[in-house]
């Protein structure tokens, strides 16, 4: 299980801060500008340098970090900017976990194929906990 932190245009600053505080190796960072070009979903010039995903190791925990620009992610509210990440082993496991978490909860991003994962989705469970479901 991993942890995911979301920021409003401060992810790079937060990453640098956590690297210093926890004396970590430099994070692996992918920006929105690094995404493959998609005519149907162009990336606004103002978002190209924002962090789409970064992996930061703190002790034995993988802490993933991203910015959440408007229109590209659910609205960011302090309190929903932390999520747990479940890395599934199979399509069936990813689908089952996603569906069970979504029952009486809310789908934030449907579970579907992305350019970085076989399946990825975001869901809020009935207790208000945000989850990212991955299948690499």
Domain 77-136 is found in CATH 3.30.720.110 = yes
Residue 131 — φ and ψ, nearest 5°? -130, 145
- Under 8 Å CB-to-CB from 78, ≥6 apart: which residues? none
The domain segmentation of the chain, as residue ranges, is: 1-73, 77-136
> What is the pLDDT, as a whole number, of residue 111?
97
Q: pLDDT of the chain along its 136 residues, tens only?
A: 899 999 889 999 999 989 998 889 999 999 999 988 888 878 888 889 999 999 999 888 999 999 988 877 778 887 778 888 999 999 999 999 999 999 999 999 999 999 989 999 999 988 788 999 999 9
Question: The CATH number of 1-73 is which of 3.30.2010.20, 3.10.180.10, 3.90.25.10, 3.30.530.20?
Answer: 3.10.180.10
Greatest pairwise CA separation for the chain in angstroms:
41
CB atoms within 10 A of CB 130: 22
- Total residues belonging to the chain: 136
């Amino acid at each position: 299980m991993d942890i995911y932190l979301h920021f409003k245009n401060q992810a790079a600053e937060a990453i640098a801060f956590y690297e210093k505080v926890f004396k970590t190796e430099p994070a692996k960072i992918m920006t929105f500008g690094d995404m493959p070009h998609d005519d149907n979903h162009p990336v606004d010039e103002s978002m190209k340098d924002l962090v789409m995903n970064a992996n930061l190791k703190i002790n034995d925990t993988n802490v993933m970090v991203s910015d959440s620009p408007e229109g590209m992610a659910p609205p960011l509210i302090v309190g929903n900017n932390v999520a747990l990440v479940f890395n599934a082993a199979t399509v069936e496991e990813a689908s089952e976990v996603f569906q069970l978490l979504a029952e009486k909860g809310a789908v934030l991003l449907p579970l579907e194929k992305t350019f970085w994962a076989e399946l990825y989705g975001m869901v809020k469970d009935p207790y208000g906990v945000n989850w990212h479901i991955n299948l690499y």
